[in-house]
Amino acid sequence: MKKSRTDSIKATHKSEIEQKFAAETGIKILEARQAWRGLLIPMVGASVFAASTLVNVIRTYRQYGWPEGAFSPADKVLMALPVVILGMTIFYQAEEAELKDIKDSRPEPLGA
């Protein structure tokens, strides 16, 4: 059975589409990898800082005991700020994801 010219064109287009799809997939994977790798340095730095702080807290506790009366109300506010900021960050990320889900579930307007 002889292949027609149409079959040859279809095969060529199919091959081009598959190559384009593979290239786009490769680019997306590379972009995602670079985005995640971009978080490594800050994450490692933050982990080292947290570990160092924890070690210093343990050393100070061993030497001076529990900090009864050591912190003023202003000190306690300063210590609470990172917790508040972390909570707000998590809340806003969850809210953003929820809004994206709502936006993605809406049907597209007619004529768009």
Which DSSP category does 110 fall into?
T
CA distance 109 to 105: 12
Domain boundaries along the sequence of the chain: 71-106
**24-36, pLDDT tens digit by residue?**
888 889 999 999 9
Handedness of CA 7, 13, 17, 23 (dihedral sign): positive
Q: What is the pLDDT of residues 49-106, one digit of tens each?
A: 999 999 999 999 999 998 888 899 999 999 999 999 999 999 999 999 888 888 888 7
Please give the angle made by the CA atoms of 73, 75 and 81, to the nearest 5 degrees. Answer: 105
